[in-house]
Chains A and B, each alone.
Chain A
Amino acid sequence: DQQVKQNSPSLSVQEGRISILNCDYTNSMFDYFLWYKKYPAEGPTFLISISSIKDKNEDGRFTVFLNKSAKHLSLHIVPSQPGDSAVYFCAASDGNTPLVFGKGTRLSVIA
């Protein structure tokens, strides 16, 4: 039973446009959410996070939105750049057990 779902395995976006990656979760005990970025042949790297007491967190071109009632979060990248092409993993935590990861979404930013 997947507690964290990324339903889009891939996404293609034109350079300069907005990329929106989505993530849904089922466990209402999750109170901390993270996005990781992974390039081929490298380990995932932390990108941005959000606590359940917030509904938005922004860091440069990256913004994460959290809708607790819908159990949904999204990562917005604007403007998208070719270097953003990678696999993005959503992850969630209840603070007492290890992070639960989604299956990832492969983002391709086309120049």
Chain B
Amino acid sequence: EAQVTQNPRYLITVTGKKLTVTCSQNMNHEYMSWYRQDPGLGLRQIYYSMNVEVTDKGDVPEGYKVSRKEKRNFPLILESPSPNQTSLYFCASSAHRGWEKLFFGSGTQLSVL
């Protein structure tokens, strides 16, 4: 089954403790991206990747890092999380330029205390 898998589904952490949210897709998609969803703000793109070792900033990249060492994986790294990074995070992938059809993961609800 074609899918984007994110882990964990829920995460509670404390300020400053490094964490990684994993994302993996099994569709051999070149394009992957991360979003955060906040009430009243919709989804905002954090980072995206167009292929292995090719990443670029979205609209809200501050405080986040990503890597794309393999085509299927695109982890999101928070080196020093802060409470304003408490949010619902989604990973997505697409086979097409311009994000013609995005496949979304189920989301990761992160709380930073």
The answer to whether A and B come from one shared complex is no
A-to-B contact residues, CB < 8 Å: none
